[in-house]
Amino acid sequence: MTETAHSDPVDDSNANAPADSAAASAADESQHRREVIRKRVIDAIAVFVLSAVAVLTAWCGFQSSKWGGEMSIAFSEASSARVQSIDFASQARDARANDQAIWVQWVLATDQGDARLAGYIEQRFSPEFAAAFDAWNAGGREARGPFALDAYVPPGTEEAAALSDRADSRFHDALENNQRGDNYSILTVLFALVLFLTAMSQRELQPWVVRTLLGLAITVAVVGVVILLTFPIRI
């Protein structure tokens, strides 16, 4: 009898198994490589943000300190100018009192018709009052007296006014410098928020959370830099 040879059918699923396993392994390796690259990029960005913001924070602290010093100097100069203004104002007040005392004697001598005494007193007028007295005479003595004329400026009046204006100006500068220092201090708080968000993005979190935190940190940092560029600088 003739034996009939039977051939076993080929199992296609077993033949394709190695190929599917290799494809899956390659896909996993590619995914892992992408994850590693993504993490390295995020880490690099985070390090850059941390370093840049640390420098900006130090700069803000330096500027806040400088403007604080400028504020102290301006307050000191304003106080000094105010004291000098008061001294000159006192000098002007004393000069006016002396001129008024001499003026009273001249009025009494004139009222008594003592021209010799009146002339003697006129020779004792101060230069400032003499100029006002001459202007009063030139005006027909229509004004209430030499003291009512703009020509009468006792010594120390102009100096007192100039120093008073300087005191006001320097006091205003001190307030502005104080505000500038406060602005830089507030900006350090903003940059501290950037450092916090960046540090949180380095935690083991979901990728979308990491991206959100880092993106928010970069946004706040950019806003802080834009604001910083509008601030005056003191070296």
pLDDT, block means (10 residues), the chain with 235 residues: 46 55 69 79 91 95 95 96 96 96 94 91 93 92 88 94 97 96 95 93 84 93 95 91
Which pLDDT score is estimated for 31? 72
Which pLDDT score is estimated for 42? 87
Q: Give the whole-angstrom CA distance, residue 190 versus residue 220.
A: 7
Which pLDDT score is estimated for 3? 45
Which pLDDT score is estimated for 23? 66
- Residue 71's nearest CA partner among 170, 186, 177, 166 is 177
Q: Give the whole-angstrom CA distance, residue 89 versus residue 156.
A: 6
Which pLDDT score is estimated for 4? 46
Q: Give the whole-angstrom CA distance, residue 214 versus residue 225.
A: 16
CA distances from 120 to 49, 115, 117, 135 (A): 86, 8, 5, 19
pTM of the model: 0.74
Q: Give the whole-angstrom CA distance, residue 71 versus residue 212.
A: 41
Which pLDDT score is estimated for 6? 47
Q: Which residues of 142-163 are buried (b: 16+ CB within 10 A; e: fewer)?
A: eeeebbebebbbbebbebbeeb
Which pLDDT score is estimated for 12? 52
Q: Give the whole-angstrom CA distance, residue 89 versus residue 166.
A: 14
